[in-house]
Amino acid sequence: MTSTDVLFRPFSIKGLTLKNRIVMAPMTRNMAPAGVPNADNAAYYARRAAHDVGLILTEGTVIDRPASRNLPDIPFFHGKEALAGWKAVADAVHENGGRIAPQIWHTGSTRSGDWAPEAEVESPSALVGPDDPRGVAMSEADIWATIDAFGKAAGDAKANGFDTVEIHGAHGYLIDQFFWAATNKRTDAWGGATLPERSRFAVEVVKAVRAAVGPDFPVILRLSQWKQQDYAAKLAKTPAEMEAWLMPLKEAGVDIFHCSQRRFWEPEFPEIDGAQGLNFAGWAKKITGAPTISVGSVGLSGEFLAAFGGEGSHVTSLDNLLERMSKDEFDLIAVGRALLSDPQWVTKVKQGRMDDLKGFDAKDLATLS
């Protein structure tokens, strides 16, 4: 196997220095009663920090809007109690030598089982997916209030000691519903026939976040081509379309693009550079010049969506990852299920204890171990 040393180089941006290139991917846990993270949540993240995760991205934590979450125990990132709980989480991670960012989020009109918030869900055009109506279309006032709420959450992240912040703009949730033509049918200034036109909402969110945190605090934006509503969806079908999508976001204030794929080794445009071509994060870095995070089934068979159906995964080789990292195709790699099932995953990789790595057990989704 290629040396794992490439994973353990430091990484720095805007005063933030990470001791290695490994990021804990954000994973919804739905275990914050009344929306308030508690000692169990803090201990869960602290265990990963104690075992050398370079940067922890929290589970999605929602902004201050009436229907911003799609499960009852998703944590808030607003209100005195929730913010105090998150400060305790950040403090616990720092005490264990880690760095941490909240992922700030609005779930839009998406469904998750039978639960629904008391307020009507909101989205660009009252659609969950193609020809699938739900909730209400956002008014101009709703849109600006939501943009302001993202900015407020980012400012609260900085004020409560977090090291950076990630905006969730992927996977068919609210920001992504503005990007996607299938869910954004608006004919006003928040819609349009082209992806850059439909990106205005995300650009304004990024600007609000940047204004709230200032110029020297890193801002991460998570994006995906695929949607939970349509795994085959593709916002940018060519590098030129990707450039037209990403560059305005970078200019608005994004420092790092977190490029979500279901399988990190799959090329984004194989018709251009072949079966071994650059992945989504590789192309985003090439196009924008910004650092990128890749993610998707690292070190495991299967892929994460199957986990919610109870499917486990076994350990697989890291060779493909190490080869791509050695070429600096992308800068950081996010690890999800492997770290969920094994808090010591990074330490084991660093020590070369590959035979001790654990596969993913779907039962671990029910715990904060």
Chain center to CA of 111 = 18
CA atoms within 13 A on the CB side of 93: 28
For residues 282 and 296, is the Cβ–Cβ distance under 8 A? Answer: no
- Determine whether 173 is an active site residue: yes
For residues 264 and 283, is the Cβ–Cβ distance under 8 A? Answer: no
Q: 250 phi and psi, to 5 degrees?
A: -60, -45
Angstrom CA distances, 213 to 41, 162, 168, 193, stand at: 25, 11, 17, 32
Which residues, other chains included, contact 165 with Cβ-Cβ below 8 Å and sequence gap of 6+?
101, 102, 104, 153, 154, 157, 158, 209, 213, 217, 218, 219, 220
Rounded (to 5) percent helix, strand, coil in the chain: 35, 20, 45
Angstrom CA distances, 1 to 9, 61, 223, 338, stand at: 18, 37, 31, 19
Spell out a b/e string for 171-208, using b for 16 or more CB atoms within 10 Å of the CB, else e: bbbbbbbbbbebbbebeeebbbeebbebbbbbbbbbbb
Q: 220 phi and psi, to 5 degrees?
A: -110, 140
Rounded CA-CA distance 105/83 in Å is 15
- Output the DSSP codes for 317-332: --HHHHHHHHTTSSSE
For residues 332 and 21, is the Cβ–Cβ distance under 8 A? Answer: yes
**Identity of the residue numbered 127:** L
> Which residues does the annotation mark as catalytic?
173
